[in-house]
Amino acid sequence: MMVSRRRFLGSLCALPALAAPARSRPNILLILADDLGYSDLGCFGGEIETPHLDRLAANGMRFTQLYNNARCCPSRAALMTGQHPHKVGMGNMTGNPRREGFPGYSGKVSEEAQFLPAVLKQAGYNTLMCGKWHLGQPGPVARGFDEFYGMIQGFDSFWDSSKYTRLPADRPKRQYDKFYATDALTDHALEFIGGARGSAKPWFLYLAYNAPHFPLHAPKELIDKYQPVYEQGWDVLRQRRFAKMTKLGLLDKRWDQTPRSVVGPNRVSTPNGWAPKQNPAWETLPEDRRKDLARRMAVFAAMVDQMDRNIGRVLGDLKTKGELDNTLILFCSDNGACAEWDPYGFDVSSGPENVLHVGAKLAEMGQPGTYHSYGSAWANLCNTPWRMYKHYTHEGGISTPCIAHWPKGVKAKGAIGNQPWHFVDLLPTLAGVAGAKAPAGLAGVNMAPIFSGHRAAHGPLFWEHEGSRAVREGKWKLTALHPKGEWELYDIEADRSEMHNLAGAHPERVRRLAQAWDQWAHQNQVVPWIWDPPYQLTSGLK
């Protein structure tokens, strides 16, 4: 029997507010990475050096089945409002032209939506944000943040300080002789925390790094460090990650490694549908192309490394000030690894095309004035072992590495939690931890019991983005690729790699889950929507 999420909202509203003094309530540090793949961190199987996040995982918990919304804006809307993004108007991205009759895709979050910082502020928290906003206007201060420094839009240079904004506008803005965004965001985060310590109130910091989203920019010495690592190629490294993830206990031994040849989509449709591109075998590429690609991935790895170093700065500050034990730190990523737009990446000078860098041009990659991505084949590595990428509702698009660290609240050091939950749950969960009253009628539920190793009651999970769509109930997941794709059914407990489509063997289950998705879609303003003609998303697609 399909379990309705509404059955659990009563328990959320019934949760008592904490009656403890403000100083005994935890500080909350929510760290969001941008376009980080599921297996990029060392503690999730990757070869990138992330010692500070690895230490958080060793002394806290890793959650293997926290789900995001497949792309920047929808994920951030769900995280900040506790609602499915379409319900608050952010089914796609900011800036899209508003069209009458499509309220789920208005390109802005509805004015009525209550944001997480406003909820926590009502409970007596200082509310601070550094990083990427990407939720349009009104901006972060109007939505409840006391202090903001970061990027209002979606992505831009890491080397250009003019792209970053300080709010409220009358606040002094730091000046830099040498600017790098990840460092500057952390500088302001430490400044904001320091200022909050002057009050008797706990603080909430949303540290939303724009790393490692393209444009791929990083300090040259760090890029050089990773160049030889990625000259080994994606085939070798995918197998190493898979083996390490299995050894770490992150993968069930029943799950397969997906083949390299899994669809690597470009972003161009044809009259016959989507034109897939296969990710090539590394050894089939000419040497100059391998050098170019290795350098692209080395820049990406350097961005993750530098992000981890900066997280270490924040952790060091909290430890020095005696705040680490009573700070809930939650780390996650806004979507899966980014495949835009083909196996070789792209460069801004040529739109979705790629440029082959050779000779001296290789050393310039990642430096000021450059602007490129790493492509679908490296994204395939970063999402090991899942199928697909950012934009899609297969596991590679919606699965995030998640770490929770809170010595006073997370007791099982090094534990791995496997319960499925969703970005819509973050607002009610953090509100519950803070003793705040969550808004009524949220899609999410309070998942705080999982921090202490218990299960929390949860109903089915739902997704839609750009026509890809999914529903998960228990171990069963129904998903489809683009508006014209047929439903695929997977037993996620036995086959989270989504390699064995069971739709033909369970037609009644497919029908029932598809009806549940259809009902959710109508309730949450998902349909109707014309995405990319001639495709039309309508309810009840089978």
Task: Respond yes or no: is residue 454 known to be catalytic.
Answer: no
Tell me, letter by letter, the H, E, C secondary structure of 275-316: EEEECCCHHHCCHHHHHHHHHHHHHHHHHHHHHHHHHHHHHH
How far is residue 32 from each of residues 10, 239, 362, 383, 387, measured CA to CA in Å?
29, 27, 30, 17, 22
Residue type, 387: R
Q: 414: how many CB neighbours lie within 10 A of its CB?
A: 12
Task: Respond yes or no: is residue 43 known to be catalytic.
Answer: no
Label residue 405 exposed, middle or buried (CB < 10 Å: 0-12, 13-18, 19+): buried
Cis check: omega of the bond before 203, within 30 degrees of 0: no
Q: Which of 43, 72, 73, 382 is catalytic?
A: 72
β-pairing verdict for 415-417 and 399-405: unpaired
β-bridge mates for residue 161, sequence order: none
- 516 membership: H or E segment, kind and range: helix 507-523
Q: Which of 52, 84, 86, 134 is catalytic?
A: 134
Residue 92, classed as helix, strand or coil, is coil
How far is it, in rounded angstroms, from Cα 446 to Cα 350?
46
Q: Which residues of 343-366 are buried (b: 16+ CB within 10 A; e: fewer)?
A: bbbbbeeeeeebbebeeeebeebb
Label residue 280 exposed, middle or buried (CB < 10 Å: 0-12, 13-18, 19+): middle
Residue 359, φ and ψ in degrees, nearest 5: 60, -135
CA atoms within 13 A on the CB side of 463: 34
How far is residue 106 from each of residues 98, 100, 211, 381, 539, measured CA to CA in Å?
5, 9, 27, 34, 19
CA 378 to chain centre: 17
List, by residue number, the catalytic residues: 72, 134
